[in-house]
C-alpha cells in the first residue's frame, strides 16, 4: 500500500495516523500538490493529496473516502462505530475538523500571495470559520458527544486540525477558553502515531 502526500498536509497526517494506529504497513510517496512538477495527478484527477494506492493498484482519493476504505478493511482498532447513526455523527465531526483544515489552508494560501493582492476580508472570513468550528467542538466535548481521551476518526481529525493551526501559526490563541480541546490535543499528541507524523520544522 502506498500513501501519496506531503509531510505538511493535515489531511495526509490524518490518514497516516489511521494507518499507523491500525498497524497497516505502507510506503509514503512525498509529493507536493502545488509544485510545477508534481506527480499527484497520476493518482487522482483532482491533483490533491492524500491519495492511497492499494496493493492491487487501485487508487482512492479524498481523505474521508480513504478513511472509509481503511475502516472497511476491518483492521482493529475500530475508528468508526458500527451503529449507522453514531457512525454518521463521528463522520460529521470529522467533516467539521476537515473544515478547519480547509480554512487553515485557505489562510496560508491567501497570505502567501503578494501583499498588494492579499484580501484581509478573506483572511478574516477563514479565521471566523476556524473560531466558530473550534467553539462547536469544545461544546461537543463539554456535553459528552466527544471524549477528549477517546481515539476515533473524529478525535484524530480534530487533533490533526489543531496540529496544523499550531504548525502554521494560524490561530495562535485558539487554546484560550477551550480547555477540553487542549486536553484532547495534548492526549493525542503523546501517541507514537502523532509523534511520527509531526510536520517538519521550517
Q: Tell whether the model's pLDDT for residue 116 goes beyond 90.
A: no
Kindly give, in sequence order, each residue whose CB lies less than 8 Å from that of residue 50, ignoring residues fewer than 6 positions away: 3, 4, 5, 9, 11, 12, 15, 61, 63, 66
Mean of the per-residue pLDDT values for the chain? 95
pLDDT on residue 47? 87
124-151 b/e with 16+ CB inside 10 Å = b?
A: eebeebbbebbeebbebbeeeebebeeb
Closest-CA residue to 49 (of 29, 33, 38): 33
Return the domain boundaries, the chain. 2-73, 84-191
Q: Tell whether the model's pLDDT for residue 76 goes beyond 80.
A: yes
Integer Cα distance of 7 and 110 in angstroms:
20
Architecture per CATH, 84-191 = Up-down Bundle (1.20)
pTM reported for the whole predicted model:
0.95
Q: 2-73 has which CATH code?
A: 3.40.30.10
Asked if 2-73 and 84-191 have one fold, the answer is no
- The three cell numbers of residue 40 are 499527484
- The three cell numbers of residue 91 are 463522520
Question: pLDDT of 126-136, one tens digit each?
Answer: 999 999 999 99
Question: pLDDT of 86-111, one tens digit each?
Answer: 999 999 999 999 999 999 999 999 98
pLDDT on residue 84? 97
pLDDT on residue 201? 80
Closest-CA residue to 34 (of 49, 53, 13): 49
Amino acid at each position: 500500500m502506498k500513501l501519496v502526500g506531503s509531510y505538511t498536509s493535515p489531511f495526509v497526517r490524518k490518514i497516516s495516523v489511521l494507518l499507523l494506529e491500525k498497524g497497516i504497513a505502507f510506503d509514503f510517496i512525498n509529493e507536493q500538490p502545488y509544485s510545477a512538477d508534481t506527480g499527484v495527478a497520476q493518482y487522482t484527477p483532482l491533483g490533491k493529496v492524500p491519495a492511497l494506492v492499494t496493493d492491487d493498484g487501485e487508487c482512492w482519493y479524498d481523505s474521508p473516502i480513504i478513511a472509509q476504505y481503511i475502516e472497511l478493511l476491518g483492521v482493529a482498532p475500530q475508528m468508526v462505530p458500527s451503529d449507522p447513526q453514531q457512525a454518521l455523527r463521528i463522520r460529521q465531526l470529522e467533516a467539521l475538523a476537515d473544515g478547519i483544515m480547509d480554512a487553515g489552508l485557505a489562510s496560508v494560501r491567501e497570505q502567501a500571495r503578494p501583499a498588494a493582492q492579499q484580501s484581509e476580508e478573506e483572511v478574516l472570513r477563514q479565521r471566523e470559520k476556524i473560531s466558530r468550528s473550534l467553539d462547536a467542538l469544545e461544546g461537543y466535548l463539554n456535553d459528552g458527544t466527544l471524549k477528549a481521551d477517546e481515539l476515533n476518526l473524529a478525535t484524530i481529525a480534530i487533533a490533526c486540525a489543531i496540529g496544523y493551526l499550531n504548525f502554521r501559526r494560524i490561530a495562535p490563541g485558539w487554546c484560550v477558553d477551550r480547555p477540553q480541546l487542549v486536553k484532547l490535543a495534548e492526549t493525542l499528541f503523546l501517541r507514537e502515531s502523532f509523534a511520527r507524523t509531526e510536520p517538519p520544522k521550517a
